Amino acid sequence: MVGVSVHPETSIQYLKGIGPKRFEALKRLGYETISELFYFFPRRYEDRSHFRPIRSARISEFITIKGEILDLKVRPVKRLEIFEMLVGDSSGTIHASWFNQGYLKKNFEIGEQIILSGKVEFYNRLQLNSPEYEVLISDEEETIHTGRITPIYPLTEGLWQRTLRTAMKQLVDQHAGELLHEYLPSSIRMRHDLIELTPAIQNIHFPESSGTLAQARKRLIFDEFFLFELALLEKRTKEKREGTAIPIPVEKDFLEQFTKSLPFALTGSQKKVIREILADISKDIPMRRLLQGDVGSGKTLVALSAVLQTVRAGYQGAFLAPTEILAEQHYKTMTKIFGPLGINTRLLTGSTDEISKNDIRNNLRTNKNEVVVGTHAILQDNVKFSNLGLVIIDEQHKFGVKQRGHLLKGTLSPHLLVMTATPIPRTLGLTLYGDLELSTITELPAGREPIKTYWITQKKEKEVFEFIIKKLKAGDQAYIVFPTIEETEKVDVQAATKEYEKLKKGAFKDFTVGLVHGRMDSKEKDYVMRRFHAGEIHLLIATSVIEVGIDNPQASIMVIENAERFGLSQLHQLRGRVGRGSKASYCFLFGNPKTDDGKRRLRVLTKTGDGFKIAEEDLLIRGPGDFLGTRQHGVPQFALANLVTDYEILKTAREEAIHLLEKDSCLKHPELSRLNERLKQYTTYFQD
């Protein structure tokens, strides 16, 4: 930086060594200002801090040496040229060569001290091939590229490791002290033994030692989690403080009557979570609650009790499902339950015709429709509620986190209940749902038997089919699923269709076989599902459109083809389509996994039916990004932190965030002004 005064918002193009071209490249990576560039972290490090005697070099080792330049030459080879350097120390000499980089020669002089780091290779003699280099002016001088634990930055077109590293060194040396300000309260730093911000940033880029690098990482990972949790919880604290929701009174007697009218008794768990939810919505603080319960634990009814109370109090309810099939199933359940009570439920999905859509939208705007159930279509901007009191999101893990925010904007905030059958492993729970209160259904309805699960090779198909035929004859129903992967959906659908044609005429010719897949239009899907529910279709061939939520208690057999292609949680969900009544249920996994992880997945399923155990295992096998799938847009990206391995830091950061907001919910204390500023920067970035 020449002559100009620098401030955090100064564009990085004014840094020495960053011209317009490199600026463009960094901008593409998301860094524009100096304060942002401090957080452009190395991708990894190479330890080039130990000098080895040249004599000790062995083929294919990676070494760092320090010596004197003894000779320099540019040697033509065919139409190209090789730049060669001979370096010696007290133990011996070695050549270094750079292919087609003759222009480098002018940077060096014989007699200079130099450090080289690179791989030892053999071309008629031992030599270093295109090593990293650094000329030493004096012995005290701190080196940048080698002779140290060296940062390796992620690159993009137009960025070179050496120039970038030089610029970063300059940035950190000259501006970190002046531009970075400690924002963590010192009490928090003390309690958790966290170093200050400036040395943390300095050491994450140019570590003095592996020890200081570890300290820097710990401090910066803490920061990532702490800011994230603060942002999340601050919003929630504000909602609580301002009390902007509609209180919905609970009518105990009415509710009791309603549950008595059901064909079964609620489980203790269901009753408990219903109480928790109703207590929440009776307050003027908007409910933000996550209901988790394994597949088949009866979440729908819990949600419907809350919807019922909302409508009774004169407000509207919105019920979101991730697929049309599921939305239609809920619609059916709701018309059955709500219809007799005179409550008007409407179904709004992508394939609702325009006339009905308009009608629904008009009625919602004027409070004529009380409950709407549907898919993403409900989230469209032109769907406006006059009086929205409660939003239910079923199978939340299939939606992005951002999407849940959408309906909740507005002056009065509706209550929100999100439901999931994919139990969220603790780490992810804290980050994804850290602002939600948690209710858990811990028991399944009485009389459910564990689903007997077998992992089977294709050779046994005939025996499995014979077993299914026996069961179908006894009045059971079955699914055969060909799971779909988004990228290959078309092929998967073809496979399912082909198999359907084959099975219908072959093994299952004595039964009614149905087919349902994601490429059918909603009416066709609905028709097939209705016939399956009614018992008219005995065997349903399906793709993973039936993965979530589908509920037919008469179905007791699930066959999953190509099971090795799917994640554990997804397989658990699919399996959860059976075992929903009192019948003994079976799941057959056909699969021939090639990898150990693949085998482990299928083995886990045969051993346990516990969704929580399965989710933890899945997270371990796949890591957080994959675990939530590509559709889960809301997974926060942390630059340094790893949700699995840094769990302990996350927990501490969260506790500190909670503690701080309890003491000072607006973070008004003067000691927190820097933190507040940092948080503001962070939330603008975090919310869009």
Check binding of 421 to ligand ADP (CB under 6 A).
Answer: yes
CB nearer to ligand ADP: pick between 299 and 572 = 299
Tell me the window of 1-9, 258-266, 278-286, 545-553 that interacts with Mg ion (CB under 5 A): 545-553
Contact 45, 151 (CB under 8 A): yes
Tell me the window of 132-140, 232-240, 251-259, 290-298 that interacts with ligand ADP (CB under 6 A): 290-298
Both tokens of 360, joined, read: 């629904």
DSSP assignment, residue 261?
T
Rounded Cα gap, residues 234 and 572, in angstroms: 35
- Per the listing, tokens 């951002």 go with 402
x/- string (CB under 5 A) for Mg ion, residues 496-535?
Answer: ----------------------------------------
Check binding of 299 to ligand ADP (CB under 6 A).
Answer: yes
x/- string (CB under 6 A) for ligand ADP, residues 602-631?
Answer: ------------------------------
Rounded Cα gap, residues 305 and 307, in angstroms: 5
> How many angstroms from the chain centroid is the CA of residue 530?
34
Binding residues for ligand ADP, how many (CB under 6 A)?
18
CB nearer to ligand ADP: pick between 86 and 548 = 548
Check binding of 423 to Mg ion (CB under 5 A).
Answer: no
Residue 180 amino acid letter: L
Beta strands in 394-491 (DSSP E): 415-420, 437-441, 452-456, 477-482
CA angle 575–581–583, rounded 5-degree value: 90
CB nearer to ligand ADP: pick between 25 and 308 = 308
Rounded Cα gap, residues 147 and 36, in angstroms: 27
CA-closest candidate to residue 525, choices 628, 370, 418, 375: 375
CB nearer to Mg ion: pick between 118 and 549 = 549
Question: Which of 293, 549, 611, 634 is the binder for Mg ion (CB under 5 A)?
Answer: 549
Tell me the window of 194-202, 518-526, 544-552, 564-572 that interacts with Mg ion (CB under 5 A): 544-552
Rounded Cα gap, residues 404 and 390, in angstroms: 12
CB nearer to ligand ADP: pick between 579 and 636 = 579
Q: What residues contact 542, with CB distance under 8 A and at least 6 apart?
A: 479, 480, 481, 482, 496, 515, 516, 517
Check binding of 527 to ligand ADP (CB under 6 A).
Answer: no
Rounded Cα gap, residues 9 and 248, in angstroms: 48
Restricting to residues 532-571, name those near ligand ADP by CB under 6 A. 549, 551, 553
Restricting to residues 52-71, name those near ligand ADP by CB under 6 A. none
Question: Which of 298, 317, 567, 579 is the binder for ligand ADP (CB under 6 A)?
Answer: 298
Residues in the chain: 688
Residue 301 site contact among Mg ion, ligand ADP, none (CB < 5 to 8 Å, cut-off depends on kind): ligand ADP
Check binding of 573 to ligand ADP (CB under 6 A).
Answer: no
Check binding of 264 to ligand ADP (CB under 6 A).
Answer: yes
CA-closest candidate to residue 237, choices 570, 663, 589, 652: 663
Rounded Cα gap, residues 191 and 489, in angstroms: 52
Check binding of 300 to ligand ADP (CB under 6 A).
Answer: yes
Contact 104, 83 (CB under 8 A): yes
Check binding of 334 to ligand ADP (CB under 6 A).
Answer: no
Both tokens of 9, joined, read: 């918002």
Residue numbers at the binding site for ligand ADP (CB under 6 A): 264, 266-267, 270, 293, 295-301, 421, 445, 549, 551, 553, 580
Residue numbers at the binding site for Mg ion (CB under 5 A): 549
